[in-house]
Structure 1
Amino acid sequence: MVDLFDVLVHEGKLDTDLAALARQADQDTRPILNQWAAQRDAHQWKILQAFQAERVSTDHLGVSTGYGYGDDARDTLDAVMARILGAEAALAREQFVSGTHAIATALFGVLRPGDELLAATGTPYDTLIDVIGCGEEAVAGSLKEWGVAYRQVELTESGHIDISAVCQALKPQTRVVLLQRSRGYSMRPSLSVREIGVACTEIKRVRPDVIVFVDNCYGELVEADEPTGVGADLIAGSLIKNLGGGLAPTGGYVAGRKEMVEKAATRLTAPGIGSHVGSSPAGRRLYFQGLFQAPGAIYEALAGAVFTSRLFELLGFEVNPRFDQPRYDIIQAITLGSAERIVAFCQGVQQASPIDGHVVPYPAPMPGYADPVIMAGGTFVQGSTIELSVDAPIRPPFSVYFQGGLAQAYVRIGVLRAAQLLRERKLLP
């Protein structure tokens, strides 16, 4: 039987030796996928139960307009999301323009002038630097401009939370401790829910009144539990990542303790109306359906990441995580070692995209990022990282961050095209 690798070789898209490595990567990773299939099935059952418990009906898939007063679909989506995330309440809104917006809304909702934000996982993701105001210049509208102080505790040398140092760093004015679940633009390991839970327990033992907030982007439904199930007070993320299932056209979410979610809602809308407004002129079918399909989309992304990790390890590159290591988010990091390799990799992935496959990406300055960034991924929803995308800052150690993939075959085509382009440009080790 002819397989994908045969087809690519026959059509002149893949060298035979790269096809041989791809077959080895496929063979090596197949046993690993069983665990992810079991996780997918468990989450699918949990989501089905949530939909049924909240009595989701055809009426919830339609449109609403204006203020959205009495919008039962909005409230039901919030309730379903809260059940899935193990939270008291959730705010799932298309009015959030990104995960960064949702995170900023949550932070501004619970922090006040004179409070302190303590980052327990070192320097936050690039787009949060300006939100916090911890860069070289405080951006207008940042937490710093609003009178919120900021400090950070670095991770240990092995890339884990230095819980003792975090607890020692807590001050009377420390109001929120920030944990970033995913690696961001770094090669440190992503945080497991277990590690987050241990951190929450120890922080609360020292300061029960401190709010533990988790940037949950890229990690939803990858493990059995979410941070809200192990002690985190508040989490936030994007709906064009994991929980959108590749269908949500925009949006983000905040979830956690009810009073804190409502504070975020007040920041999103206005005092006095909070979570009770917000219409959906295009309807919420894609949000409900995307959430229902999320376990399958995440499984495909994880299966693609495992294959990518093994293939590029066989090609001689440093990968994180390795194909046989535990995974706590959908991101696969590959250290390529040079800007030229980053550009070739991203251009190869772009060539394999269904949308804008003819476009050639190059590094460029982007709002919210400290260095020029190159991004690739011709997605149906702009910037949808669950579909398939890769991005990288042009700075040492010159790593790419590869995530998503709604179908394993699509991921394989993308990474093989990237490998082939590296070969053609004589950039392989």
Structure 2
Amino acid sequence: MDWKQKLPIKIQQAVQKVDQQIQPQIEEINRRIDNNQAKVLEAFTDQHVAESHLSGSTGYGHFDEGRQTLDKVYAQVFKTPAALVRPQFVSGTHTIAVGLFGCLKPGQKLLYITGKPYDTLQEVIGKNAQQPGSLKEYGVQFKYQPLNAQKNVDYEHLDATLQEFQPDVVAIQRSRGYEVRPSYTVNQIAAMISFVKQRCPQTIIFVDNCYGEFSEEHEPTEYGADLMAGSLYKNAGGGLATTGGYLVGRKDLIEQAAIRLTAPGIGSQEGATGPYLRGMIEGFFLAPQVTGNAIKGAIFTAALLEQLGFEVTPKWNEERTDLIQTIVLGSGEKMVQFARAIQKYSPIDSFVSPEASEMDGYEDKIIMAAGTFVEGSTIELSADGPLRPPYALYLQGGLTYSHVRIAVARACAEIL
């Protein structure tokens, strides 16, 4: 029996219409998947990835050929001199923090040009004066450039900020985070990098690439980003990596970050990969396909919800540079209701009812639906957001396109 027959007639008709409507976008994503898959396959063959590399190491992790080879694969795919891919990175926030601490010394200056950073990074920077170990406590000065009225980089005022503040590191956050603004395309990021480099040639450009890998056919490191970070719980892990993160970029900056992750004199030369390496390697190979599935799911979600009268961003036919789909629901109650519906149609913990609660690193209560195989994985279908105006829920991920379609359609049937 067709799965759609269990849906109300209104939802069935909407799904049928949406499937026809979005077909050109789905075909474009399939083309992008093929090109990204070819790039990853070429890196695997060029770097001679072998079965022996899948086993991982123990203890100090000396001479871990699998770890060293995976670094080379990442460096080739992202077109950088070096990479640091490690299970010891506990999250995207941790990976970004290690990168920033590696770049910055006491007394130096950090400028975010894409508005206020993501909630958890504000703790890293030192917004909370009581939080020990922040960049602020370390003696780093921080400033962010507010966005303009169109929610884009405010180039009109950025020039003056660069000249007055003279930042040592300029940071760019590709994804929207918990803001109702567009995520930035690679072309937009390339323009940001060019603008900064023309005025401050020695400034290090750091990119938070979370949710962005393989969403397009090029990456910010191809356009002058000096250091870039991401999480293996997201796109690059392909749904198989159960922990870890990556940094790619200049060789000196990668080694400085490795020293912050381990210790001086150790750097990138130690760090056991244990049972994690197989999932990290295989997950990266699958990442173009899994990321494409998630983006196709986001396009379907946007089209269906818009058809049913919801406010969404981006819209189904707008350009996409990551896999996040924002749904503006207008109230905390509706956010909780939608999140619970998504949880109900998850493969893991479908019987659990999410509750809004305080979470470390966030200002507001967070509602989070995540019936995932890997805890907190956002390359798997999940929905979360802070209970604050405009009461937007952020839907992301989906290991298979079919799962996203079924879960979102059934969730819509429930909340309507």
TM over 0.5: yes
Shift of 1:138: 4.7
* SS class of match (1:174): coil
Q: Deviations over 1:123-152 (max 9, x none)?
A: 1111101000124x3511111111111111
Partner Cα separation in structure 1 for residue 28 and residue 297 of structure 2: 14
- 1:183 is the counterpart of 2:182: no
Verify the 8 A CA contact 1:64 1:283 in the aligned structure 2.
no
Q: In structure 2, the residue corresponding to 1:391 is in which secondary structure?
A: strand
Aligned to 1:156: 148
In structure 2, the residue matched to 1:89 is 82
Q: 1:80 aligns with which of 50, 68, 73?
A: 73
- Give unmatched runs, 5+ long, in structure 2: none
Number of residues of Structure 1 aligned to a counterpart in Structure 2: 415
The one-letter code of the counterpart of 2:169 is V
Deviations 1:77-114 (A, max 9, x none): 00001111121111000000000000000000111111
Q: Which amino acid aligns with 2:378?
A: T
TM-superposition CA deviations, 1:208-233 (whole Å, max 9, x none):
11011111000011111111101111
Q: Residue 110 of structure 2 contacts residue 167 of structure 2 at CA under 8 Å; is this kept in 1?
A: yes
Is residue 196 from structure 1 mapped to residue 195 from structure 2 by the alignment?
Answer: no
Task: Say which SS state the counterpart of residue 166 (structure 1) adopts.
Answer: helix
Moved more, 155-164 or 18-27: 155-164
Tell me which amino acid in the other structure corresponds to 2:283: G
The amino acid across from 2:155 in the alignment is: I
Asked if the contact 1:115–1:173 (Cα under 8 Å) also holds between the matched residues in 2, the reply is no
Computed over aligned residues only, the root mean square deviation of the Cα atoms, in angstroms, reads 1.1
CA distance in 2, matches of 1:307, 1:93: 34
Please, which runs of 5 or more residues in structure 1 have no aligned partner? Answer: 424-429
Match of 1:59 among 47, 52, 58: 52
Where do 1:376-395 residues align within 5 Å? 376-395=369-388
What is residue 97 of structure 2 aligned with on the other side? 104
Give distance in 1, aligned partners of 2:56 and 2:45. Answer: 21
* Residue of structure 1 equivalent to 2:351: 358
d(CA) in 2 for partners of 1:326, 1:148: 36
**3-state SS, counterpart of residue 284 of structure 1:** helix
Contact map agreement 1:26 1:307 (CA 8 A) in 2: yes
Report the alpha carbon displacement of residue 257 of structure 1 after superposing the two structures with TM.
Answer: 0.8
Distance 1:73 1:215 in 2: 26
* 2:116 counterpart of 1:117: no
Would you say 1:333 and 2:320 are equivalent positions? no
Q: Give distance in 2, aligned partners of 1:309 and 1:396.
A: 20
1:146 to 138, 147, 172: 138
Determine whether 1:50 maps to 2:43.
yes
**2:22/2:316 contact within 8 Å kept:** yes
Deviates more, 1:160-169 or 1:105-114: 160-169
Which residue number corresponds to residue 413 of structure 1? Answer: 406
Query: CA–CA distance in 2 between the matches of 1:283 and 1:80?
Result: 16
CA distance, structure 2, for counterparts of residue 108 and residue 166 of structure 1 = 24
Task: Find the residue that maps to 2:168 and give its secondary structure.
Answer: strand
Matched, 1:126 2:125: no
In 2, the alpha carbon distance for the partners of 1:203 and 1:283 equals 38
Asked whether the equivalents of residues 130 and 138 of structure 1 are also in contact (C-alpha less than 8 Å), the reply is no
Render the CA deviation track for 1:141-167: whole Å, top value 9, x for unaligned: 111111111111011211211234223
Instruction: Supply the AA of the counterpart residue of 1:150.
Output: F
- Residue in structure 2 matched with residue 299 of structure 1 by the alignment: 292
Instruction: Report Cα offsets for 1:255-307 as digits up to 9, x if no partner.
Output: 11111011100000001110011112215111111000011101110110000
Cα shift readout 1:293-337 (whole Å, capped 9, x = no counterpart): 011101110110000000110111111100000001000001011
Partner of residue 165 from structure 1, selected from 149, 157, 160:
157
User: Distance between the aligned counterparts of 1:114 and 1:167, measured in 2?
Assistant: 22
TM-score by length of 1: 0.95
Q: Is the 8 A contact 1:69 1:276 kept in 2?
A: yes
Match of residue 256, structure 1, among 229, 240, 249: 249
| Residue in structure 1 matched with residue 278 of structure 2 by the alignment | 285
Equivalent position of 2:219 in the other structure: 226
Contact 2:238 2:291 in 1 (8 A): yes
TM-score by length of 2: 0.98
Regions of 4+ moved over 4 Å: none
Q: CA deviation at 1:172?
A: 6.0
The CA deviation at 1:198 is 1.0
Residues 168, 413 of structure 1: alpha-carbon distance in 2 compared, 3 angstrom cutoff = same
Q: Which residue of 2 aligns with 1:3?
A: 2
Question: Higher mean Cα deviation, 167-176 or 241-250?
Answer: 167-176
* Contact preservation (8 Å) 1:138, 1:145: no
Secondary structure at the residue paired with 1:253?
strand
Question: Aligned partners of 1:369, 1:74: CA distance in 2, in Å?
Answer: 33
Could you tell me how far apart the structure 2 residues matched to 1:418 and 1:338 are? 17
Is the 1:114–1:173 contact (alpha carbons within 8 Å) kept by the matching residues of 2? no
The verdict on how the C-alpha distance between 1:85 and 1:138 changes in structure 2, with shifts beyond 3 A counting, is farther
- Quick check: 1:134–1:150 contact (8 Å CA) kept in 2? no
Q: Give a deviation string over 1:339-395, Cα, whole Å, max 9, x none.
A: 111011100000001110000001000000110001102101001110111101000
Q: Equivalent residue of 2:275, what SS?
A: coil
1:267 and 2:260 equivalent?
Answer: yes
1:29 to 22, 37, 42: 22
